[in-house]
Structure 1
């Protein structure tokens, strides 16, 4: 995490993560995208490598972090994305419209088939494009609606 190299303290990415509170992916992005940033917000270059671990000058990292906090803000070590609520698109927003269309397609497929069938999400992904896991979520949501419809029809 931290060591002396040529008379100065150098630190690893793990140390930077602990120091800044940023995610590992954010620290890696700071480093890989440093050429796109203004010079005062540029992550420092690696000073040395031990094994496969890159080490950076500690003073340069601390200066970078101070400038980042001053420019971007202390509460957002990442890219400035707003934190989510962890609920995906349940709360609405631009992704919800797309999910509703997928659920409608899945619901129609359930009605046509007369109920759930194995491999429906994969078939929908092949037919309409997209990722099977996303279609599985849409099928699960459509299945709840289908069961509610079936329950209401039999009452």
Structure 2
């Protein structure tokens, strides 16, 4: 019997990938299907070692080890948006920056107001206002900024 930790060491897969392999086992061909749990002790699941090794050999042959599968968030630009959406974010930051200039600085509820006026989700507008606020503060402090 082997645990998920052991399977992770064998395959090099992350805990999220191991959980996904098990959760989606019924969508895979039988030869590439993750083995079922044999026994649970406490909160640790154990699998038949031979079944795991057979599964991993079939996976390597059919899929390879270069891409174990994606789990978690997709990579973005570090600004809370995917690069394809960056132009939309820049436009929203521009709208938020114009509102900050018009109002003479940050005001409570600005993101919610912009969401109502321009559409979209308030949380996205909160991010845009945060970026715009940093630009606005750089402008008003006399620092030379990039502007939009």
Q: CA deviation at 1:145?
A: 3.1
Match of 2:35 in 1: 44
Partner Cα distance (1:105, 1:37) in 2:
47
Matched, 1:66 2:57: yes
1:107 corresponds to which of 79, 97, 109: 97
**Pairwise CA distance, 1:89:** 5.7
**Displacement after TM superposition at 1:29 (Å):** 0.7
Deviations 1:67-92 (A, max 9, x none): 222222212222399x84x7436997
Q: Following the alignment from structure 1 to structure 2, what is the Cα–Cα distance between the partners of residues 51 and 11?
A: 14
CA contact (8 A) 2:115 2:125 kept: no
> Over aligned residue pairs, what C-alpha RMSD do you find?
3.2
Change (3 A) 1:28 1:92: closer
**Normalising to structure 2: TM-score of the pair?**
0.72
Decide which structure has greater strand share.
Answer: 1
TM-score, normalized by length of structure 1? 0.69
Alignment match, 2:66: 75
Q: Deviations over 1:70-120 (max 9, x none)?
A: 222212222399x84x74369973121332233233223312322123454
In structure 2, how many angstroms separate the alpha carbons of the residues matched to 1:31 and 1:140? 40
Q: Unmatched 5+ residue regions in structure 1?
A: 1-9
